[in-house]
Chain A
C-alpha cells in the first residue's frame, strides 16, 4: 500500500514538473508576448525526438565504449553495453544529462523560431494558424525519416539516472524534473518583472501603440518564442529521458491542448496561477488515471475519449465563465517604490 502511494506521488510530481515547464513556456509566449502558440507540440516533440536520436550517440562518445550495434535501429544491444557503464559512473551520467538538456533547449528554440518565422510580422490569427499547422509536422518527419528515431517503432535511450540504483531511479528522475521546472518557473517570474517582460506585455496589450513607442514586434516576439521553445525543448528531452524510450506518437491533445487548459484554469499571465492550475489539473487527472481500471470493460469504447469530451466541456465553460482563471493577472508593482511613495506622501 505504502509503495503504491509513493509510486503515485512520484508519478504525479513528474507529470507536474513536465507540465509546469510547458505551461510556464506557454505563459511567456502567450501570457507575456501574446503569441497564441497552438503548436506547442512542435518544439516539445522536437526536444523529445532529438533526445531519442542523440542520447546514445553522445553516450558512446563520452564513455568511449565499443558499440557495434547501431543505437537507433538496434537499441537493445547498444544499451546492453552503455547502460552498465552509465550506471557505474555518475559523473558521465550527469554530464550526459546536461549536454542533452542543452541540446534539447537549443533545438527547441530553433524549432520555435522556424515555426513562428513565416508569420512573425502578421496578425494574431495568422500566427495561430501557422503555429497550429506546423505543430503536427514533427511526427510526420519522425515517422518518414527512419534514421531519426527508427520510424514509428521509436527508440530506447540510455538511462542517465540509474547510477543511484534502480530502486531510486524514478525518484531521482522526478527530483531533477522538479528542480529544473522550479528554476524555469523562477526565471519566468523574474522575466515578468524586467523591462523586457514589460515590453512583451505592451505588445500583447496593444500592438500598434507598442510599435509606435518603438517596440519592434519581430524582435520581442522572437525573444519570447526562443525562450518559450527552449523551455519546451527541455521538457521534451526530460520526458524522453524519464520514460527511457520515445515513439513518434506524441499527441496534440496531451501536449498542446492540455497545457492551454491548465493555463486558462490557473490564470494566463500570472505564473503563480499557472502553477496552481497545473497542480490542480495534474492531481485530478492522475487520480482519474490511477483509478481508470475500475471502468475498463464497462464502457463500449476506450475511456480515453471520455477525457477529450469532459475536458473539452470544461474548457468551454472556462472560456465562457472565467477566461481570466483562478488567479487573474495583476500589474506588477515593485514594493520599494510603493514604500517610497508612502514615505513621500506622509512627509507632504
Chain B
C-alpha cells in the first residue's frame, strides 16, 4: 500500500511550449504523486494553464514528454487522454450552455452504452446505466450545492456556479487523476473550503490524484501535500506547503505581490 502511494502518477520531462517568440512553458519537469493533492502556483501569465493544455492534448508540446501512469501520452488527442484516466477542467468555464446542468454532468460519464451508435436505439440496453449515472450525478450536484438547479440550462448559472459545474463534470468522469484549473475563483470562501474538504475526502476514499492550479493560497495551501511554483514558464521551486511559504524566490515573485 505504502509503495503505491509513493508512485509517480504524472510526470513531465522538459515540456516546452512556444507561441511564436514567446516561450510560455520552458523545460518544465514535474512529478505528481499518486493520491496526492499537488498545487501549481505562480503569477498571472506565467504559463500554468498552458502547461495543463500541453499535458492534456489541447496543444502539442514543442519539446518534451508527458508520462501518465508510466505511459507516454505526449501528443495524444484530448479524448484519448480522457480515456487513459486523466481529466481536466477549464479556467474559463466551458459549459454546454444549452444542456441542463444534469446533462452537463452526464456527458462526462465514461463508456455509456447509450452513446454508441449500435446500441442507442435499444433504450433497454442503456436506461439502467443512465439511471445509475443520474443518481451519481445528483450526489455530486449536492456536494457542489447545484442540485436545486439540476433542470436549468447551464447558461443560467452564475460565474461561481459555472466553476462548480466544471468540477462536477470532472468528478463525474471517474478519472484517476483530475487537474483543476482555478476551481474556486469566484466561489465564496465557505463553499470554497467545503469544496476543498470534499476533494480531500474524494482523494482519501476513491484514491483520486488531484493537481490544482490556484491563486487563493490562503485556502488552497492547507489542503495540499506538495506545491510547484512557476514563474515565466519555468518551475522556480517545489516542496511542501511550509517549505514553499518560506522559499525566498517564491516570496519575491509571488507572495510578495499579494
Q: Is B206 an interface residue (CB 8 A)?
A: no
Taken together as a complex, chains A and B put the C-alpha atoms of A217 and B112 apart, in Å, by 16
B90-117 interface with A by 8 A CB criterion: 90, 94-100, 102-103, 106-110, 112, 114-117
Interface SS majority for chain A: helix
Q: Which of A201, A211, A216 neighbours the largest number of chain B CB atoms within 10 Å of its CB?
A: A211
Alpha-carbon gap, A195 to B108, bound state (A) = 11
Is the Cβ of A213 less than 8 Å from the Cβ of B120?
no
Contact of B100 with A333 in the complex, beta carbons under 8 Å = yes
CB contacts (< 8 Å) of B106 on chain A: these are 195, 198
Bound-state CA distance A213–B174 (Å) is: 11
Q: Is the CB of B96 within 8 A of A210?
A: yes
B6 to chain A, nearest CB (A): 29
Interface range for B: 35 or more
Please tell me if the beta carbons of B96 and A209 are within 8 angstroms of each other in the complex. Answer: yes
Q: Is A206 an interface residue (CB 8 A)?
A: yes
The contact of A213 among B58, B100, B116, B169, by CB within 8 Å, is: B169
- Contact among A195, A201, A214, A333 with B120 in the assembled complex (CB-CB below 8 Å): A195
Q: Which of B58, B99, B120, B134 contacts A208 (CB 8 A)?
A: B58
Q: Judge whether B189 is part of the interface by a CB distance below 8 angstroms.
A: no
In contact, B78 and A195 (Cβ under 8 angstroms) = no
CA distance A341 to B149 in the complex (A): 12
Q: What's the Cα separation between A109 and B144 when bound, in Å?
A: 43
Q: For the complex, is A81 an interface residue (Cβ under 8 Å from B)?
A: no
Question: A310 an interface residue at 8 Å Cβ cutoff?
Answer: no
- Among A210, A215, A331, contact of B98 (Cβ-Cβ < 8 Å): A331
Within 8 Å of chain A (Cβ to Cβ): is B5? no
Q: Are B98 and A198 in contact (CB under 8 A)?
A: no
Chain A residues within an 8 Å CB radius of B97:
205-206
Q: Tell me which residues across on chain B come within 8 A of A223, comparing CB atoms.
A: 117
Question: Would you call A212 and B130 a contact (CB within 8 A)?
Answer: no
Is the C-beta of B88 less than 8 angstroms from some C-beta in chain A? yes
Q: Is the CB of A195 within 8 A of B130?
A: yes
Q: Are A210 and B107 in contact (CB under 8 A)?
A: yes
Q: Does A129 contact B (CB under 8 A)?
A: no
Q: Check A194 against B120 for contact (C-beta < 8 Å).
A: yes
Q: Which of B63-71, B79-87, B207-215 contacts A (4 or more CB under 8 A)?
A: B79-87
Residue of A nearest to B108 (CB): A213
B173 at the interface (CB under 8 A from A): yes
Query: CB of A269 within 8 A of chain B?
Result: yes
A337 contacts the other chain (Cβ, under 8 Å)? yes
Give 1 or 0 for each of A266-285: 1 = CB within 8 Å of chain B CB: 00010000000000000000
B26 within 8 A of A: no
Residue pair B114, A216 in contact (C-beta under 8 Å)? no
B56 CB contacts on chain A under 8 angstroms: 212
Q: Does A191 contact B (CB under 8 A)?
A: yes
* A200 nearest in chain B by CB position: B115
CB of B126 closer than 8 Å to a CB of A: yes
- In the complex, whether B160 has a CB less than 8 A from a CB of chain A is no
Give bound CA distance, A201 to B87, whole Å.
20
Contact with B along A318-340 (1 / 0, CB 8 A): 00000000000111110001100
Q: Do A206 and B96 have beta carbons less than 8 Å apart? A: yes
Q: List 19 A-B contacts (CB under 8 A).
A: A195-B115, A195-B126, A205-B95, A205-B96, A205-B97, A206-B97, A208-B58, A208-B78, A209-B94, A212-B58, A212-B82, A212-B90, A213-B82, A213-B169, A213-B173, A215-B79, A331-B98, A332-B103, A333-B151
Q: Which residues of B contact A (CB under 8 A)?
A: 56, 58, 77-79, 82-83, 87-88, 90, 94-100, 102-103, 106-110, 112, 114-117, 120, 123, 126, 130, 134, 150-153, 169, 173
* Inter-chain pairs besides A195-B106, A201-B99, 19 sampled, C-beta below 8 Å: A195-B120, A195-B126, A196-B114, A198-B106, A198-B107, A199-B107, A202-B99, A209-B90, A212-B58, A212-B78, A212-B87, A213-B107, A214-B79, A214-B108, A215-B79, A215-B107, A223-B117, A332-B100, A341-B150
